[in-house]
Amino acid sequence: MNNLKTQTSKGIFWKIAENFGTAVVGFIVQIILARILFPEDYGILAITLVFINIANVFVTSGFTSAIIQKKELSELELSSIYYINLLISFVLFIIIIIFTPLISTFYNMPILKIILPVQSFILILSGFNSIYTTLLTRKLEFKKSFNFKILAVFVQGVVGILLAVYGFGIWALIISNYFNYFISTYFVRRYIRWRPTRQFSLKTALELFKFGKNILFLSLINIGYNSFKTLLIGRSYDSKTLGYFSKGEQIPNLLMVNTDGAINSVMFPVLSKSQDDPKKLIKIYSRGISLTTFLTFPMMLGLFILADSVILVLLTEKWANSIIYMQISTLICMTWPFSMRNQALNSVGKSHVSFKLDLLIKIITIILMIVSIKFGILYLLLANLLGSIIAIFIGFYVIKSEFDYSVYNQMKDVSGPLISSILMALLLRYVLGYIDGDIYRLLIGIPLGMIIYFCLSFAFNYYNMKYYLDNFVQFYRKLLRKGELK
């Protein structure tokens, strides 16, 4: 238990460090690029990324998820998955090229005929790289992943800025992304010494797919669901409006991916190691969702209050139309941590349950969004928020049914961070009402919000605060010892 606890602490530390490190570099780069490029560029890019991301799910999910969950792996299994991933990536690349003219016509964006095929070649690189990054995760080598990704994102940023300055426009975003993939692929493959053999068994691969298929379909539902807004807005409005929406949700999503996403990615392999001990698994799950909401709730509500200042100071008046989209996106993002239920279900081999659960949730939310789009983008986002809230309560009852973990205890896990964050936001809103100037509001609002939140947390979330601080002190002491986090 102690060894697993140490591995979990190290994994979360390095995964958050990796995600926040790449986020900080990427965020600075995006601020610079947003000042050079135009909303239309980001609208066009958003459409292309929808198709690339959906296709990439077939490469990075399913089989690779089985690698993490399976206790023992043979060379035959690894090689079979590697070759199938390569085949899938090539087939998807060809399919996108074939359908590019239809996509371009449907969205009335002629430039997609050139950009989409170029972007889709990323799938080939992903096919070569996916099994290596999965092996890195399986071994809980999050420190190495941190080093590789920081370097890749830094080079991507430098290349992107240089190309944008020299007038490459949207191509600055596309070309720089290739540098990220090339560098991360090179270093991960160099570190993971495994190489595919000439062994291949379709039967073996299909056996692994029995577990992975539900996670694959679940990932497809998630990425399709998350992309649905972009596709709907892109079809109903112009690329400029889509650009405003895309930029509005970018910062909230960035913060969540690099906190909630970091912890979630660590929780699956960690929970999988406790799959034979339900009590230990639920304890880890409870700690995980408490920690995630403790970190993300104040960030999202703080960003909600400071959204206008963030947009106007960092991105300039050119992006003012993105403010309202950012505010609603922060509320939607607050529902993300509850998807950790899927990690718990998947870790004990109940991926079919998480698949059915998410399918139901997505269907409800998509229906709400389709009905609301005719009233405007704002109503579409509110419909998304309503669907996400419904999902939380459905998830509560599924966890209660599968793990005998009461709804009351699940709500108790997040009540402290929620109450503290709401009170922090209200107090911050009141204080900022007396401060003029967006720069001053940011400079005062961010540290003030943090101080208020931590003070309130000792009042409404004392037990967890004490637990976090005690673990942080222990972890910091270990960090000082040579080689402790290697």
Question: Tell me: the pLDDT tens digits for 162-188?
Answer: 999 998 989 999 999 899 888 888 887
pLDDT, tens digit (0-9, with 9 covering 90-100), for 306-327: 999 999 999 889 999 999 999 9
* Residue 408 belongs to some domain of the structure: yes
Q: Which residue has the higher pLDDT, 64 or 155?
A: 155
Query: Poorest-confidence range of 2-16, 126-140, 201-215, 248-262?
Result: 2-16
Averaged pLDDT, 444-463 = 87
Q: Please check whether residues 127 and 196 belong to one and the same domain.
A: yes
Domain boundary among the residues 202, 236, 270 is at 236
Same domain, yes or no, for 90 and 198?
Answer: yes
Amino acid sitting at position 38: F
> Looking at residue 7, what is its pLDDT?
57
Kindly tell me if the per-residue pLDDT of 304 is higher than 90. yes
What pLDDT band is residue 447 in, cutting at 50, 70 and 90? Answer: very high
Tokens 């060894």 sit at which residue? 3
Q: Which of 324, 344, 303 is nearest to 428 (CA)?
A: 303
Residue-number span of the structural domain to which 81 is assigned: 37-236
Residue 484 pLDDT more than 50? Answer: no
- Are residues 88 and 177 part of one domain? yes
- Indicate if 320 and 441 belong to the same structural domain: yes
Asked if 372 and 383 count as a contact pair (C-beta separation under 8 A), the reply is yes
What are the backbone angles phi and psi of residue 345, rounded to the nearest 5°?
Answer: -65, -45
Task: Dump pLDDT digits (tens) for 321-358.
Answer: 999 999 999 999 999 999 888 888 888 878 788 878 88
Give the least confident one: 119-123, 256-260, 291-295, 300-304.
256-260
Residue that has been written with the tokens 């269907």 in this structure: 363
- Same structural domain for residues 53 and 171? yes
Stronger pLDDT, 463 or 25, i.e. the higher one: 25
Domain final residue, candidates 180, 202, 236: 236
Tell me how far apart the terminal alpha carbons of the chain are, to the nearest angstrom.
19
Distances 412 to 170, 256, 299, 417 between C-alpha atoms, Å = 46, 22, 20, 10
What is the pLDDT at residue 453? 92
pLDDT at 263: 79
Same domain for 168 and 264, yes or no, is: no
Of 236, 271, 295, the one marking the end of a domain is 236
- Please indicate, yes or no, whether residues 128 and 148 belong to a single structural domain of this protein: yes
Instruction: Select from 175, 151, 179 the least CA-distant residue to 164.
Output: 175
Q: Kindly list the distances between the CA atom of residue 414 and the CA atoms of 174, 235, 294, 329, 396, in Å, as whole numbers in the listed order.
A: 39, 38, 8, 20, 12
Q: What is the pLDDT of residues 204-243, one digit of tens each?
A: 777 777 766 767 776 787 788 778 888 888 888 888 888 9
Alpha-carbon distance of 460 to 215, in angstroms, equals 36
Give the total number of structural domains in the chain: 2
Residues 251 and 209 in one domain: no
Mean pLDDT of all residues in 127-152 = 75
pLDDT band, very low/low/confident/very high, at 478 (cuts 50, 70, 90): low
CB 221 within 8 A of CB 362: yes
Higher pLDDT, 426 or 460: 426
Between 133-142, 163-172, 296-305, the lowest mean confidence (pLDDT) is in: 133-142
- Percentage of the chain exceeding pLDDT 70: 86
The residue written with tokens 């600075």 in the block is: 28
Q: pLDDT band at 61, cuts 50/70/90? A: low
Per-residue pLDDT averaged across 126-148, rounded?
74
* Residue reference for tokens 């700690």: 287
What confidence category does residue 485 fall into, taking pLDDT thresholds of 50, 70 and 90? very low
Question: Do 273 and 377 lie in a common domain?
Answer: yes
Q: How many angstroms separate the CA atoms of 381 and 325, rounded?
A: 8
Kindly state whether residues 127 and 177 are assigned to the same domain.
Answer: yes
> In this structure, is residue 12 part of a structural domain?
no
**Is pLDDT larger for residue 403 or for residue 204?**
403
Verify that 176 and 188 share a domain, yes or no. yes
In a domain, 1, yes or no: no
Inform me whether the pLDDT recorded for 471 exceeds 70.
no
Tokens encoding 7: 């591995």
Q: Which two tokens stand for residue 118?
A: 């170029």
Cβ neighbours of residue 209 closer than 8 Å, sequence gap 6 or more: 62, 63, 66, 216
Q: Which residues have a Cβ under 8 Å from the Cβ of 326 and sit 6 or more positions away?
A: 248, 249, 251, 252, 303, 307, 310, 311
Alpha helices in 122-169 (DSSP H): 122-138, 142-165
Q: 87: buried, middle or exposed (CB in 10 Å: 19+, 13-18, 0-12)? A: exposed
Checking if the pLDDT of 395 tops 80, the result is: yes
Mean of the per-residue pLDDT values of the chain: 84
Pick 426 or 204 by higher pLDDT.
Answer: 426
| 250 and 302 co-located in one domain | yes
Is residue 27 situated within a structural domain?
Answer: no
Structural domain includes residue 74: yes
- The torsion angles phi and psi of 193, rounded to 5 degrees, stand at -70, -10
Rounded average pLDDT over 395-420: 90
For 391-415, give one letter per residue: b (16+ CB within 10 A) or e. Answer: bbeebbebbeebbebeeeebeebbe
- For the chain, what percent of residues have pLDDT higher than 90? 33
Is the residue at 201 inside a domain?
yes
Does the residue 19 lie in any domain?
Answer: no
Q: Which of 9-23, 244-258, 410-424 has the lowest mean pLDDT?
A: 9-23
